[in-house]
Structure 1
Amino acid sequence: MLAGCSSVDTLTTPDVTNAAAAGFVDIRPGSEEEFMINVGRRIFFDRGSAELTETARMTIDKQAAWLRANPRWLVKIQGHADDPGSEAANKALSTKRAEAVRDALVALGVDGKRMWIKGYGIERPVTDCDELTCHVQNRRVVVNLREEFDEAARR
C-alpha cells in the first residue's frame, strides 16, 4: 500500500508551508496586515480575571516591540467579557482587561498618549461557535490600530 506513495516526486512538489496567507500576498512592513498576521492583536483571559497570563505577556511583548517601531499608529484597546455576573460586572471586567493590556504596553515603552481603551462587556460576542468555545473567545482584549482617535478616545 505504501508503495503508491513512492511515486510522488518530492523535488517538484511545491513547498506550500511558507506560502503567503490568502488575501495577504504582499505584506508591507509597518502595515496593519503585518501587525495582525505576524504580531497578533488578541489577548485572552481566564474566566473572571483581568490578570495577564504568561501567554498574554508574550503577545504583549511582541505588540510593544512592533508599536515602538511603528509610532505612526494609534491604538484602540477593546476589552470584552462573557463571564458570570451582570452586564455591569462584565462591562467593568472588560474595562479592567483593557486597562491591564494598556498598562503593560506603557510599561514596555509604548507612549500612553497613543492609546485609549473601551470596555464592551458582553456587547460584541464572538459568533458562530459552540457555547464553550464562544465563552473562551469572548474573554479577550483586541488591540486595534487606528489612524485617528475616535469618539471613545479620552484625550
Structure 2
Amino acid sequence: MTTRLRRVNSGILLAAVCSFGLAGCNTASNLATPNVTNAPAAGFASIEPGSEEEFIINVGRRIYFDKGSATISSEAKMTIDNQAVWLKQNKKWLVKVQGHADDPGSEAAQKTLSAKRAAAVQSALVQRGVDPKRMWTKGYGVERPVTDCDEVTCQSQNRRVVVNLRDEFDASAPQRN
C-alpha cells in the first residue's frame, strides 16, 4: 500500500511539475511572439476607406437567388442593407447592377430572369435610400457564368446579382441628362 501511495504521490508531483514547467514555457514564448491574431491579412493592409476593395471585402457585392426566382431572400436583404449604407456614405461611385442566371429554360427566358433579379436588387437599394440616378441594371442571362458545371450547388453560384462600382456610365446605361 505504501509503494502504491508513493507512486500516486510521485505521479501527482510529476504532473504538477510538468504542468508548471509547460505553463512557464508558454508564458515565456508568448512574450517573445507578437500577437498577430488581429493583424491585417497580407495584401489587404492598406484598404482605403471608400475604395472598391473596401466594398468588395467588407460589404460584399454578390446576392444569390433561388432557382427560377427573382425574390430576394432574408439573407440577401442583409447584404443589400450593408451595400445601401456603404453606397450612401460613398456617393462618388456609380453602380451597375448585373443580373445573371443559370436556370432551366431558353436563353431569352434566362435574360429576362437575370434582368428581373437585377431590377429587384436595384429597387431594394432605392428603397433603402440609394439615389436611383447613380444606378443602372443589365441582365446577362447565362452569358457570364462564374462556373460551368453540372452539380446543383455549383450551378447555384451562377444565379446571382453582382453590384459593381463604376467611375462612369458605360454603354449599357440609359442616357443620363
Q: TM-score, normalised by structure 2?
A: 0.78
Paired residue for 2:63? 43
| C-alpha spacing 1:67/1:136, structure 2 compared with 1 (3 Å) | same
Unaligned regions of 5+ residues in structure 2, if any?
1-18
Matches within 5 A, 1:4-153: 9-127=29-147, 131-153=151-173
1:46-100 deviation per Cα after TM superposition (whole angstroms, max 9, x unaligned): 1111000011000000000000000000000000000111111111110000000
Identity rate, percent: 68
Say whether the 8 Å CA contact 2:48–2:54 is kept in structure 1.
yes
Q: Give yes or no for contact 1:80–1:122 (8 Å, CA) kept in 2.
A: yes
What SS class does the counterpart of residue 137 from structure 2 fall into?
strand
- Higher helix fraction (1 or 2): 2
CA distance, structure 1, for counterparts of residue 83 and residue 71 of structure 2: 17
Which consecutive unaligned segments of at least 5 residues does structure 1 have? none
**With structure 1 as the length reference, what TM-score do the two structures score?**
0.89
Q: Is the 8 A contact 1:78 1:119 kept in 2?
A: yes
Task: Quote the Cα distance in structure 2 between the aligned partners of 1:83 and 1:12.
Answer: 56
Task: Confirm or deny: 8 A CA contact 1:125 1:134 kept in the other structure.
Answer: no
The alignment yields a C-alpha RMSD, in angstroms, of 2.0
Greater RCO structure (CA 8 Å; 6+ sep): 1
